[in-house]
């Protein structure tokens, strides 16, 4: 191309290249022309893919709401001292189950016993004063009657001119003094009665204060950490509290659901009791309770409402503060179309399943999923009872692929 003749070496390389290209064309030409070798390769059937097959069934299925729940104590009581004094005894160990009325703490009772004895002595003194006042009243009443009689007699004698005016005045004054003594006696009786009432009230207060020295469990429950130990001084209603008791028989499980489900929940609750199932996050055994509480307002930040289920919790499987999976069953759908959840696949056009046809080939069929549980899925549209679907091995399949059924691998439980 530069005007110079090709050298012998360049001409040899050019000829070799074209010779190799011509050889390849001759080899590939019979295959492209649809010869016997090509027809044999095209007609060889593809090997059937091994898959696990499940059944489409029709059966009752629950309509439920799923949420993350939190265990809460049915009742929580913080124990505080109602009087001041030295904590002389603790009658339980931390984490112990206690019954209503069990003795928990003892505060030194001696100061309150002394106060009670003093109040009782004052009451006896007031009762004695009352008896003396009544005796004085009886004596003064008799004297007053006699003085009044004498004053009346001397009044007649004075009118008749037999008695002097001075004598009449003396007996009249004595009668008036007797009346004043009666009034004083009545006042003394009233004062003694008031003193008795006051001392009785003081006794009741002292007894109550003495009773507060023995702190008892207000309910059945389980004690928490001990906040104040024996030998410490405690004050009435002071902080810190002595111990917290949680009632865990029964126990609450609280969870939240979107507010749009509230009307349905209320309607179903009006028809009967709703079942709540709770499963611990560690894979423990599910337990069943009943929906007993619907909060009185919706959380504006999350647009959810808090519900609570009550559980007997006889085996202590639920513990305050524990998180678990909850399922609230609203009702049961009869004749639901159900497939194993592993059969549901997701593609560019949405969800679908591989349906196994009678000739052992598969068809990719779109489905409309109503709701899903851990193991099963309810289908609204796309499947009929009795059809078979692929549950394992979908990655090897395309529409029209041939399959052969194999057994599912056994489930391995921890």
DSSP 58-110: EEEEEEEEEEEEEEEEEEEEEE--SS-EEEEEE-S-TT-EE-TT-EEEEE--H
pLDDT of residue 133: 82
DSSP code at position 297: S
Compute the residue count for the chain.
414
Question: Tokens 């059966």 correspond to what residue?
Answer: 59
pLDDT of residue 367: 96
pLDDT of residue 232: 93
The b-or-e profile of 210-224 (16+ CB within 10 A means b, else e) is bebbebebeebbbbb
Domain 49-61+335-405: assigned CATH number: 2.40.420.20
Looking at domain 65-74+245-333, its CATH architecture is Beta Barrel (2.40)
Range list of H helices, 306-395? none
Comparing C-alpha atoms, which of 387, 356, 383, 355 is closest to residue 369? 383
Contact between residue 291 and residue 274 where contact means Cβ atoms under 8 Å apart: yes
Contact between residue 10 and residue 17 where contact means Cβ atoms under 8 Å apart: no
Alpha-carbon distance of 106 to 214, in angstroms, equals 5
Ranges of each domain in the chain: 8-42, 49-61+335-405, 65-74+245-333, 81-100+218-241, 110-211
Contact between residue 68 and residue 326 where contact means Cβ atoms under 8 Å apart: yes
pLDDT (tens place) for every residue of the chain, 414 residues total: 444 443 334 434 444 444 444 444 444 444 444 443 333 333 345 689 999 999 999 999 988 899 999 999 999 999 999 999 999 999 999 999 999 999 999 999 999 999 999 999 999 998 998 888 888 778 767 777 777 777 676 677 667 666 677 766 676 777 777 777 777 878 888 888 899 999 999 999 999 999 999 999 999 999 999 999 999 999 988 877 999 999 999 999 999 999 999 999 999 999 999 999 999 988 789 999 999 999 999 999 999 999 999 999 999 999 999 999 999 999 888 899 999 999 999 998 899 999 999 999 999 999 999 888 778 999 999 999 999 999 999 998 999 999 999 887 665 444
pLDDT of residue 28: 44
Question: Cα dist. 276→15, 67, 318, 319 in Å?
Answer: 86, 11, 14, 17
Do 49-61+335-405 and 65-74+245-333 share a fold?
Answer: no
Structure tokens at 285: 């055994």
End-to-end CA distance of the chain: 79
pLDDT of residue 355: 97
Alpha-carbon distance of 203 to 76, in angstroms, equals 33
pLDDT of residue 374: 72
Contact between residue 360 and residue 49 where contact means Cβ atoms under 8 Å apart: no
* Residue 56, Cβ density class (10 Å: 0-12 exposed, 13-18 middle, ≥19 buried): buried
pLDDT of residue 144: 72
pLDDT of residue 243: 95
φ, ψ at 337 (rounded to 5°): -85, 120
């Amino acid at each position: 191309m530069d005007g110079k003749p090709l050298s012998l070496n360049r001409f040899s390389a050019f000829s070799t290249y074209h010779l190799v290209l011509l050889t390849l064309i001759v080899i590939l030409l019979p295959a492209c022309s649809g010869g016997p070798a090509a027809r044999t390769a095209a007609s060889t059937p593809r090997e059937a893919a091994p898959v696990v097959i499940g059944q489409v069934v029709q059966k009752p299925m629950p309509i439920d709401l799923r949420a993350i729940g939190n265990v809460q104590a049915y009742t929580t009581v913080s124990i505080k001292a109602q009087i001041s004094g030295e904590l002389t005894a603790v009658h339980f160990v931390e984490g112990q189950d206690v019954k209503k009325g069990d003795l928990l703490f003892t505060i030194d009772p001696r100061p309150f016993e002394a106060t009670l004895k003093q109040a009782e002595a004052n009451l006896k003194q007031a009762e004695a004063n009352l008896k003396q006042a009544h005796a004085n009243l009886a004596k003064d009443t008799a004297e007053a009657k006699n003085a009044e009689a004498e004053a009346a007699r001397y009044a007649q004698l004075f009118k008749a001119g037999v008695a002097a005016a001075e004598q009449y005045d003396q007996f009249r004054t004595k009668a008036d003094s007797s009346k004043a003594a009666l009034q004083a006696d009545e006042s003394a009786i009233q004062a003694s009665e008031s003193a008795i009432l006051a001392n009785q009230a003081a006794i009741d207060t002292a007894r109550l204060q003495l009773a507060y020295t023995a702190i008892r469990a207000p309910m059945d429950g389980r004690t928490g950490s001990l906040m104040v130990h024996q030998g410490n001084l405690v004050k009435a209603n002071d902080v810190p509290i002595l111990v917290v008791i949680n009632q865990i028989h029964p126990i609450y499980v609280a969870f939240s659901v979107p507010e749009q489900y509230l009307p349905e929940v209320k309607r179903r609750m009006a028809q009967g009791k709703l079942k709540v199932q709770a499963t611990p996050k560690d894979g423990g055994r599910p337990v069943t309770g009943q929906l007993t509480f619907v909060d009185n307002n919706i959380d504006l930040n999350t647009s959810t409402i808090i519900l609570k289920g009550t559980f007997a919790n006889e085996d202590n499987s639920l513990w305050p503060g524990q998180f678990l999976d909850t399922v609230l069953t609203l009702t049961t759908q009869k004749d639901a179309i159900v497939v194993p959840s592993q059969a549901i696949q997701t593609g560019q056009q949405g969800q679908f399943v591989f349906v196994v046809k009678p000739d052992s080939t598969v068809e990719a069929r779109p489905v409309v999923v109503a709701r899903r549980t851990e193991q099963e899925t309810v289908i609204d549209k796309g499947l009929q009872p009795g059809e078979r679907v692929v549950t394992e091995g979908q990655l090897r399949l395309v529409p029209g692929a041939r399959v052969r059924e194999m057994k599912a691998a056994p489930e391995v439980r921890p």
